[in-house]
Amino acid sequence: MTMAAPDQELPEGTVQNILDQDTLKWVFVGGKGGVGKTTCSSILSILLARVRASVLIISTDPAHNLSDAFQQRFTKTPTLVNGFTNLYAMEIDPSVENDDISGVDGPDNFVSELANAIPGIDEAMSFAEMLKLVQTMDYSVIVFDTAPTGHTLRLLQFPSTLEKGLVKMMTLKNKFGGLFSQMTRLFGAGDEFNEDAIFGRLEGMKEVIEQVNKQFKDPDLTTFVCVCIPEFLSLYETERLVQELTKFEIDTHNIIINQVLYDEEAAESKLLKARIRMQQKYIDQFYVLYDDFHITKLPLLPEEVCGVEALKSCSSHFITPYEPTVTRGSEDDLERRVNVLKQELKDAEAKLEKARKGKQKV
SS (H, E, C) 327-345: CCCCHHHHHHHHHHHHHHH
What are the φ and ψ backbone dihedral angles of 223, each rounded to 5 degrees?
A: -145, 160
Are 255 and 295 spatial neighbours (Cβ–Cβ below 8 Å)? Answer: yes
Strands 87-91 and 79-80: antiparallel
Residue 68 annotated in active site: no
Residue 241, sorted as left (phi over 0), alpha (psi -120 to 50) or beta, turns out to be: alpha
How far apart CA 118 and CA 97 sit, in angstroms, is 17
Residue 23, sorted as left (phi over 0), alpha (psi -120 to 50) or beta, turns out to be: alpha
The Cα angle at residue 311 between residues 305 and 313, in degrees rounded to 5 = 105
**Active-site pick, 7, 22, 61, 93:** 61
DSSP 241: H
DSSP run (H or E) holding 135 = helix 121-137
Strands 294-299 and 87-91: unpaired
> Which residue numbers are catalytic?
61
